[in-house]
Amino acid sequence: MSAKTVDPGRPVFKMECRFSVPMTTIYSKNSQIVLTKRLLGSSEVIQPKKQLYFAKGHLAPDSDFVYASQQDATYYFINAVPQWQAFNNGNWKSMEFSIRDLAIAHNSTLTVWTGTWGTLTLKDANNNDVPIYLGETVGKKLVPVPRLMWKVILEEDTGRAVALVGLNNPHATKLEKADKLCADICDQVSWVDWRRENFAGGYMYCCRPGDLHLRVPHAPALTNATLLSE
């Protein structure tokens, strides 16, 4: 990683032809304020100064790649999901740093899968759960905000692996039943050293990949993998 290209600037996200809503517009903070006001009866959940807004959350982060062309290729909307900035810049970011540090410490190649599960709901003025879609227009619900985000990390040369799951909701104060996809085994994973139980930064927990796969079929099973615990 010491030989990687480092560009002080960040490219703008590119649209492609895969979306029928203006992606740059719906991610704007003003649009999010208008949306939540309409859906929830209040826009108080969006507070940009407190990092409480939906950022373009990378699935594959640019910093995982060596060459500038590879890094730039991560700036397409197909590689982004609406992620609360407090989570994106909080525990999710700390996790990504720790994964890269692990690869350096082990001098090994890690294969990483990233995905989402469920759609975030927030309470409206009548205490009803409302699913949040940034691209909600008349008759359409597009660009869902994920309820949970996950990564599965496989160390290629040892066959060891672990899954990490994060709650994409800094407004939460507890885990609901729907948030618990698998048994938390973080007490067995020594390299998890960030404040993962801090809800404001995005609560996170660890699983065996096979257990996550039982709830999230599109996550890799890796049922024969031993735990990437240290």
Q: What is the pLDDT of residues 161-188, one digit of tens each?
A: 999 999 999 999 999 999 999 999 999 9
Distance CA 164, CA 206 (A): 5
Residue 77: both structure tokens together: 């909307």
pTM for this prediction: 0.92
Distance CA 96, CA 1 (A): 14
**pLDDT confidence tier of residue 154, bands split at 50, 70 and 90:** very high
Distance CA 2, CA 6 (A): 10
CA angle at 58 for the pair 34 and 178, rounded to the nearest 5°: 70
- Tell me if 133 sits within 8 A of 170, measured CB to CB: no
pLDDT above 80 for 159 = yes
Instruction: Name the strand (E) or helix (H) holding 111.
Output: strand 110-119
pLDDT above 80 for 102 = yes
Residue 53's CB is within 10 A of a number of other CB atoms, namely 21
Average of pLDDT values for 123-129?
A: 94
pLDDT at 140: 82
**pLDDT confidence tier of residue 4, bands split at 50, 70 and 90:** low
pLDDT above 70 for 5 = no
pLDDT digits (tens, 9 = 90+) for 45-86: 999 999 999 999 999 998 888 788 888 888 888 999 999 999
